[in-house]
Structure 1
Amino acid sequence: MEDIAGKTFKVVVVGSGPAGLTAALYAARADLAPLVLEGPEPGGQLTTTTDVENFPGYPEGVTGPKMMDDFKAQAARFGADIRYGTVDHIEFAQRPFKLRVDEEHHIFAESIIVSTGASAKWLGIESEQRMRGRGVTACATCDGAFFRNQHVIVIGGGDTAMEEATFLTRYASKVTIVHRRDEFRASKHMQKRALNNPKIEVMWNSELDEVLGEQVVDGVKIKNRVTGEVQTLADVTGVFLAIGHKPNTDLFKGVLEMDETGYIITEGKSTKTTLEGVFACGDAQDSVYRQAITAAGTGCMAAMDAERWLENQAEAKAEEAEAQA
């Protein structure tokens, strides 16, 4: 990082993943020589996903890490400078923006593309973390098709859990919702939709105690929070966490407009934020779709928005210089 300390870039992409690397690809092809700072999780959430079957261009499917390596190589081919580093502070009041990386190096950016993503909320038990990507997942849309005619569980009690459970009934033979309370937080409509589905059962006052298995999920242990009894569901092969996501946007709080959860709000059909020269894409501003393909699409938009903004800035400076001449 020392070799670029103090340097000014036209575009700095903060965060990687499908959104950030697509933004880098488009910015590089526009001869903007973008710098990508990958953040604490290079490649984003897809690096913890074993198989991706729903991204166009991979007819036989691809692992998440391999796909992100392909994204990275393609962006680098056109001149994107991709570095391992985490932006921990930005001075937004000055232009160009001053970014601190890994608490020691400073660089400058004429424009910033935020692609810091969002992180799924996890329970934090050891077996859950050990089996992530091996049958434990936080995305039914991404991974549901891998569990055809199998018994899966969904952890949660809000609208997301109801939606995920209902979606999974397209593939699974049985879906058990495990909820720690005796009533759902979900809207009445979403509850009714899930509870009326013959493939869905509910374990009330219960929590995931342990995920069984080594290479793949081979059952789960569920603890009743009232009686303390632990029950083994030996036929469960998939565990879906549906307790929410947290956008990784703390760095921008108090500067960019966000919703109550922390997702960055963008302007209309664009990636423009409330601060000139800062653009947001991917899961940092998308609380609805959260797919690799939609993230990549907004990454493209952010690069194009940044390119046009930089062009307008250059034209405005040229006109000002001409007026003063």
Structure 2
Amino acid sequence: MSPDSKIFETIIIGSGPAGYTAAIYAARAGLNPVLFTGSEPGGQLMITTDVENYPGYPDGIMGPQMMDDFRKQAERFGTDIRYEMIVDVDFTGDIKKIKTESGQELLSHTIIISTGASAKWLGIPSEQKLMNKGVSACAVCDGFFFKGQEVIVVGGGDTAAEEAIYLAKLCPTVHLLVRRDEMRASKIMQERVIKQENIIIHWNTSTEEILGEEEVTGARVINNITRETEIIDATGFFVAIGHKPNTSIFKGILHMDDLGYLITQPDSTKTNVEGVFASGDAQDRIYRQAVTAAGTGCMAALEAERLLAEKGII
């Protein structure tokens, strides 16, 4: 199908805090943005219950409600929100081309990417069953709810080490499950974990099942060497085996690091392709918070507006 002859000022690929914030700023600047939500409208916050660390919500808010607020605000200023996936892109010329899953092709002067990242999970049934009932992939987001309680962290990399150390400040005991006899985390992070007296490291240990009916009560784990099983009592179960940025569609087109996070210029959301900007968790492997994602969404919209003005398009 040939592309529509209309050339948009900006198209936003992905929703969530970054995409919706970019849309709010772009719409208020008169850029008439079109936003494609992707397969998970609202992003990871759609599977988050209580959000208590985002400014402006003194009593906290449910993740899906917060994203609905963002969406309504973007629509209020005229954002054209389309509930579709983008399956192909062509960024070779000054006019960028995208293709939707329905086969429609659209043209735009600028593109803002806010496709986010997805947490990696263990893949056991109880993990999904107890999601947001004690199972989490973000200690910074949810750790406060487990203050004074015993928790489990799964993983052996820097993310797991950071989450265990963070939770150790809130919880009397943190059980860290490492599936090998060593951690992949950097040496300094390993030393911090080992020095933390209330972190118990379970080496060569994997999770067989997360226990609980309505909420997490513990986990049945197995030693990968002896094959012995044991039950660890805990009310929180944090999966910290990494995140995967949703950027595969841009492979070979945009610069990305070894994990697939899009690389942007310092103090900017500019990618290696002029007119293409990256925001949110698709380019943030460090913070991964709603508030930082929103901030980079704002930056991307402002930079797109400036580029369009410099070129005399607006």
Smaller-chain TM-score range? over 0.9
Cα deviation code 1:127-186 (max 9, x no counterpart): 112222221111111111110110101101112111110110111111000011111122
- Structure 1 window deviating more from structure 2 (190-199 vs 58-67): it is 190-199
Among 294, 298, 301, which residue is 1:300 paired with? 298
Distance of 1:250 and 1:116 partners within structure 2 = 10
* Residues 39 and 87 in structure 1, CA contact (< 8 A), matched pair in contact too: yes
Change (3 A) 1:174 1:95: same
* Residues 6 and 106 in structure 1, CA contact (< 8 A), matched pair in contact too: no
- The residue type equivalent to 2:47 in the other structure is T
Residue 155 of structure 1 pairs with residue 154 of structure 2: yes
Task: Name the TM-score, length of structure 2 as normaliser.
Answer: 0.96
Distance of 1:210 and 1:226 partners within structure 2 = 18
Distance of 2:222 and 2:254 partners within structure 1 = 42
Cα deviation code 1:286-311 (max 9, x no counterpart): 11111000000000000000000011
* Runs of 5+ consecutive residues of structure 1 not aligned to the other structure: 319-325
Pairing 1:223-262 to 2, within 5 Å after superposition:
223-233=222-232, 235-262=233-260
Distance of 2:58 and 2:108 partners within structure 1 = 38
Number of residues of Structure 1 aligned to a counterpart in Structure 2 = 313
Q: Secondary structure at the match of 2:87?
A: strand
Pairing 1:1-325 to 2, within 5 Å after superposition:
7-233=6-232, 235-314=233-312
Distance of 2:143 and 2:282 partners within structure 1 = 23
Change (3 A) 1:257 1:221: same
Correspondence for 1:322 = none
Structure 1 segments of 4+ aligned residues over 6 angstroms from their partners: none
- Structure 1 window deviating more from structure 2 (183-192 vs 113-122): it is 183-192
Larger Cα-atom Rg: 1
Change (3 A) 1:300 1:78: same
Q: Secondary structure at the match of 2:50?
A: coil
Change (3 A) 1:242 1:174: same
Distance of 2:297 and 2:207 partners within structure 1 = 36
Distance of 1:21 and 1:257 partners within structure 2 = 24
Shift of 1:8: 2.8
* Residues 23 and 302 in structure 1, CA contact (< 8 A), matched pair in contact too: yes
Distance of 2:77 and 2:154 partners within structure 1 = 43
- The residue type equivalent to 1:177 in the other structure is L
- The residue type equivalent to 1:270 in the other structure is S
* Residues 88 and 103 in structure 1, CA contact (< 8 A), matched pair in contact too: no
* Residues 117 and 282 in structure 1, CA contact (< 8 A), matched pair in contact too: yes
Shift of 1:119: 1.0
